[in-house]
């Protein structure tokens, strides 16, 4: 059973399944890896590649959307874990972030983390491909 294995073992098993051209097993293993470690980019990437090779664009789009949603939630959670509101450290941190252009006037993050930006571009290309 794949769910009993560690994340690293799951990724190795998925790579082995891909090497043996057993894409169905690889997809299943990578899905378990995502459940076990939703903050890891690699299993999302591998699933996107497998679905693209199989020309299953709608399934790839589902993986992209899930990945974007998951990483946005993680980013927002980390962003909200700033120093205790009202403390001097929080005020200095907020002022510094604003002056560096990392947040807007309301204190919302302006920066989009890397896998999200890359997946948004991939999503746009995929939507064009699906419409053809």
Q: Residue 10's pLDDT is what?
A: 95
Instruction: Output the pLDDT for position 1.
Output: 46
Residues of the chain with pLDDT under 50: 1
Position 81 scores a pLDDT of 61
pTM for the full predicted model? 0.78
pLDDT at position 32 is 95
Question: Domain 2-131 - what CATH class?
Answer: mainly alpha
Indicate left, alpha or beta for 94 from its phi (over 0: left) and psi (-120 to 50: alpha). Answer: alpha
């Amino acid at each position: 059973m794949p769910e009993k294995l560690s994340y690293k073992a799951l990724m190795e098993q998925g790579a082995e399944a891909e090497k043996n051209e057993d894409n169905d097993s690889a997809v299943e293993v990578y899905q378990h890896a995502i459940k076990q470690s939703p903050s890891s980019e690699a299993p999302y990437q591998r699933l996107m590649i497998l679905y693209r090779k199989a020309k299953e664009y709608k399934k790839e789009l589902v993986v992209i959307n899930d990945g974007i949603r998951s990483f946005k939630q993680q980013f927002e959670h980390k962003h909200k874990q700033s120093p205790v509101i009202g403390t001097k450290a929080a005020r200095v941190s907020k002022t510094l972030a604003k002056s560096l252009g990392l947040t807007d006037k309301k204190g919302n993050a302006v920066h989009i983390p890397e896998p999200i930006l890359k997946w948004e571009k991939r999503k746009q290309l995929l939507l064009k491909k699906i419409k053809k």
